[in-house]
Amino acid sequence: MKMKKAEITNTHGYTAESLKKVKSKYSDIKKAETKITVIMLCMDGFGVNQIEKLTKLSDNTVSKYINIFNEDGLEKLLEYKTSPGRKSR
């Protein structure tokens, strides 16, 4: 299996320490916490396949999270869109 290289090309001013603080702020939202974890692991030098195994996400999802962070920053990555349709009860 070929190891895919992942790297943060533009940190948007975020460091591992600042991401830890943001992660604690979003501790009640599981999906946001997972997205921040992916970015933190990538900053620590883990590859896509390693992050995939640690977080149990697909390699496409991991790559997508990293690309969104690189292009648009953390705010865009954590943006939550509701699905269309009828509201749940």
For 47-66, how does the pLDDT look when each residue is reduced to its tens digit (9 = 90+)? 999 999 999 999 999 999 99
* Residue entry with tokens 């869109």: 81
Determine the pLDDT at residue 4: 61
Helix (H) or strand (E) holding 6: none
Write down the pTM of the prediction.
0.84
> What mean pLDDT is predicted for residues 6-29?
86
Provide the residue type at 48 as one letter: V
